[in-house]
Structure 1
Amino acid sequence: MQMKNVFIHHVYFWLKNADSSEDLADLVAGLEKLTACTTIQQYHIGKPAATSRDVIDGSYAVSWCLFFANKVDQDAYQTDAMHLHFIDTCQHLWNKVVVYDSVDV
C-alpha cells in the first residue's frame, strides 16, 4: 500500500557504547516516551535486520521512523518540549545520528 501526502522523518542512531544493552534500552525507552508527541501520526522503532548485501548499512543501533501529516507538523515536533527533553537526557548515549527526511515524489 502506497502512502501519500506524508512527511517521513527517519533517524538512525549509533551508540557510543555499541555493546551496552543498558544504553540501548535507555535510548529505546527515551524514544518510546517521545511517541506521546501529538504531531506524530505513526512511528517505528527498529534495529538492523539480519540481512547482508553490499548496499545495506546495518552499522547503526536504533532506527526511529516517524510519519507526519506535513512539514509543519514535523517542524513543530523539532521544537516540542518532549523532543528537546529527549535530546537533553539521551544525547550522551549516541556518538552519531543521521537523518533522512522525505516527501512524495
Structure 2
Amino acid sequence: MKKLSRRSFLGNSTSLSLAGFFGMMPVLGKQKQQGDFVHHVYFWLKNPGSAEDKAKLIEGLNTLKNIKAIQLARIGVPANTNRDVIERGYDVSWLLFFNNLEEQEVYQKHPVHLKFVENYSHLWDKVVVYDSVDV
C-alpha cells in the first residue's frame, strides 16, 4: 500500500469534495427551467361590490384548474397593502404558469376555457392580461 503525504491527501480530498459539491448543485437548489410562460389575468367585475359575483367568478376559475397544460394556477384578490405603486382596483386575479407559449395556446383553445368565457364573461367589465416569459 502506497503511503500518502499530508499534502497529497488534502489535495485529493479537496478535489473530491469540490467534484461532489458541484455534482450535487441541482439537488441543492431548484434548477431554472428555460421557457417558462406566465399568464396573469386581472378581472374587474361589473358589480365590484357583489360578493356573489366574485364568488361566481372564482367558481368559474376553479373549473379551469384541471386543464392539463397548466403547470400551476392561483386565484387571488387584492392584498391589504398600500403603496403608490400597487394596483388594487381589480377584483380577482388569475395567475397561471405554463411550460411554454404553445401550452398556453392549448389552454386558450381548450373547450373548458372556451366554456368558462361563455358562462362567466357577463360578470366582468374589464380584463387585463400580462404575459411574460422567464429570462
TM-score, with normalisation over the residues of structure 2? Answer: 0.75
Residue in 2 that maps onto 1:46: 76
Secondary structure (helix, strand or coil) at the match of 2:134 reads: coil
1:65 aligns with 2:101: no
Q: What is the CA distance between 1:104 and its match in structure 2?
A: 1.6
1:30 aligns with 2:60: yes
Higher relative contact order (CA 8 A, sep 6+): 1
Identity of aligned residues (%): 54
From the CA coordinates, give the structure whose radius of gyration is larger.
2
Unpaired runs of at least 5, structure 1: none
Alpha-carbon spacing, 1:100–1:3, altered in 2? closer, same or farther (3 Å):
farther
Residue in 2 that maps onto 1:91: 121
Unpaired runs of at least 5, structure 2: 1-29
Which 4+ runs in 1 deviate beyond 3 A?
A: 1-4
The structure richer in strand per residue is 1
1:4 aligns with 2:33: yes
Secondary structure (helix, strand or coil) at the match of 2:112 reads: helix
TM-score, with normalisation over the residues of structure 1? Answer: 0.96
The structure richer in helix per residue is 2
